[in-house]
Chain A
Amino acid sequence: AQKITQTQPGMFVQEKEAVTLDCTYDTSDQSYGLFWYKQPSSGEMIFLIYQGSYDEQNATEGRYSLNFQKARKSANLVISASQLGDSAMYFCAMRAINNNDMRFGAGTRLTVKP
């Protein structure tokens, strides 16, 4: 069974600083994909970044990067130069091969302070 764990219910960061949101996962599958989504108070889930289990390099998308450590089964999201608009819930999710069921973690609420 697949499981996603996000151990930080809430995080605070000063504007313009970097922040790391933790995500660990558990799966017996060798091929899988990891996703991060942002959910503002409006409710819509916004796709941020994707990492495949066989990707050798860490994924990056603008100010977002994914610190992928396969042996530790962790896929932490790093947000550089935080902005006030980054304040939201952040969800880590995973899908394994032959399984279209995307599993989400419980989320981390990020608050960016001015």
Chain B
Amino acid sequence: DAGVTQSPTHLIKTRGQQVTLRCSPKSGHDTVSWYQQALGQGPQFIFQYYEEEERQRGNFPDRFSGHQFPNYSSELNVNALLLGDSALYLCASSLKWGEITDTQYFGPGTRLTVL
């Protein structure tokens, strides 16, 4: 049973560029959430997708956008990259959208470095 997978593992970009990160959820899961984790901090919620719609969004600018596909996989896009966007980007999947008990299972993350 495959867990959550993310690609690429590492990415180096320069300021102003655009980046796309990809996530495949755990088998049977239909909800995908994205988090940004800066060095030495806890993860910060970016947004969550369910039934191909963005259901909730954290305090992130519109430069951060996403998409969920019919097979439940998801992409995170970041435009006009800033140095401060350098972080570990974590994808999490779950299967009880909207429920308190909904446990999120995380992927290994994508390490983004912006130069």
Seen from chain A, the residues whose Cβ lies within 8 Å of a Cβ on chain B are: 4, 31-33, 35, 37, 42-47, 50, 52-53, 91, 93, 95-97, 99-107
Seen from chain B, the residues whose Cβ lies within 8 Å of a Cβ on chain A are: 33, 41-45, 48, 55-56, 58, 88, 90, 92, 97-98, 100-109, 111
Whose C-beta in chain A lies nearest to the C-beta of B106?
Answer: A45
* B48 contact set on A, CB distance < 8 A: 100-101
* A43 contact set on B, CB distance < 8 A: 88, 90, 108-109, 111
Interchain CB contact (< 8 A) of B105 among A47, A104, A106 = A47
Please name 12 further chain A to chain B contacts, defined as beta carbons within 8 Å, in addition to the given A52-B101, A95-B100, A103-B45, sorted by A numbering.
Answer: A4-B42, A31-B100, A33-B102, A35-B104, A42-B108, A45-B106, A47-B105, A100-B55, A100-B102, A102-B33, A107-B41, A107-B42
Within the complex, what minimum Cβ distance (angstroms) separates B92 from chain A? 7
In the docked arrangement, what's the CA distance between A91 and B101, Å?
17
